Amino acid sequence: MIKKFFLILILIMISFISWNKFNLSQYIQPYLPQEILKDNTSLNMVSAIVLDYRIYDTLFEVIVFTVAVTGISKYLMKLPEYGDYKNEKDSVVETMIPIIFQIIVLISLYIAITGHIAPGGGFSAGVILGTGLLGVSFVKPMEDIEKIFVKSKIEKLKVLVPFIIIIYAISGYIFKGVYFYNFGFFGEPGTLFSGGSAIILNLLIAFEVFSGTWTILYKFIKHRGQL
């Protein structure tokens, strides 16, 4: 109780301090949005920053995510499996999820591909697809999902994504003299083929995050109740 009280007290103090001190308008942006649009040709400025100007952040984010997921699957491997897994039958869920899942896949692909035009991007696309697959695990028996999981080798493939991004970085250095040189499509802003190599990177990150989230969920279902 005392801990909670102090936590709330600290929160109130921080909010009071920030109320007085923060004035965001005093920070002036030296690089204008128009210049970003001209440089990168992607309409979604967040995508331009994440996948072009601050791509090192993204690279290390992906590496951290990969390491975290590998750690989770490695740690949960030691735990005993949850034995008698039974799906509780429910007609609404059983009918609806196969239909909804296809829509979810489409939405996720759309968000990944148009990440540089509209809000979205690789990360959210991957999480949407991974969470959508969770729904399938309610309907299908556990053995089928396990078969797909092992057969697709997704657990091993996802480790390659950071390497592919690093290869992309090095190839920029080899051909143009700069790491992460943006040799993609520079079309009219707002069209599909614009925003540099945003489409490729978004799809790569989406695959990475999707396989990571699916691995986490799959392992949690397999070893449920053991933590």
Partner 1 sequence: MSYFITVLLILTLISSLILLFQKNHLDAIIAYGIFGAVMTVVLFVLNAPDVAIVEATVGSAFIFFIYLIAVKKVSKIKIYYYETPYLFENKKGNTEGFEKYILDEFLKKNGFETEYIEIKNNDVPEDFDIIVGGIIAKESEKFFISDPILPTKMIKIGKDNIYHISNYKYKGISEDFTHQENIILDLVRLKYRVYKKGHDEKNEFLENEDYRFIFSKKNKKLLDDFNIYLSELKNDEKTYNSVIRRNIG
Single residue of 48, 55, 69, 111 touching partner 1 by CB under 8 A = 111
- Alpha carbon separation from 97 to 143, 146, 147 (Å, rounded): 18, 18, 20
Considering the complex, state which of residue 29 and residue 153 has its C-beta at the smaller distance from partner 1. 29
Instruction: Check residue 120 for interaction with partner 1 (CB under 8 A).
Output: yes
Count the residues of the shown chain that bind partner 1, applying the rule CB under 8 A: 26
Binding range to partner 1, per CB under 8 A, among 89-97, 164-172, 177-185, 209-217: 209-217
Considering the complex, state which of residue 72 and residue 164 has its C-beta at the smaller distance from partner 1. 72
Single residue of 109, 160, 200, 216 touching partner 1 by CB under 8 A = 216
Instruction: Check residue 93 for interaction with partner 1 (CB under 8 A).
Output: no
CB 121, min distance to partner 1, A: 6
Query: Which residues are within 8 A (CB) of 186 and not within 5 positions of it... i.e. 6 or more apart?
Result: 41, 194, 196
Single residue of 59, 112, 117, 128 touching partner 1 by CB under 8 A = 128
61 burial level (CB within 10 Å; 0-12, 13-18, 19+)? middle
Site for partner 1 in 59-88 (CB under 8 A): 82
Considering the complex, state which of residue 185 and residue 214 has its C-beta at the smaller distance from partner 1. 214
Single residue of 6, 7, 35, 94 touching partner 1 by CB under 8 A = 7
Considering the complex, state which of residue 74 and residue 224 has its C-beta at the smaller distance from partner 1. 224
Binding site for partner 1 (CB under 8 A): 4, 7-8, 44, 46-47, 82, 111, 119-121, 123-124, 127-128, 130-131, 134, 213, 216-217, 220-221, 224-225, 227
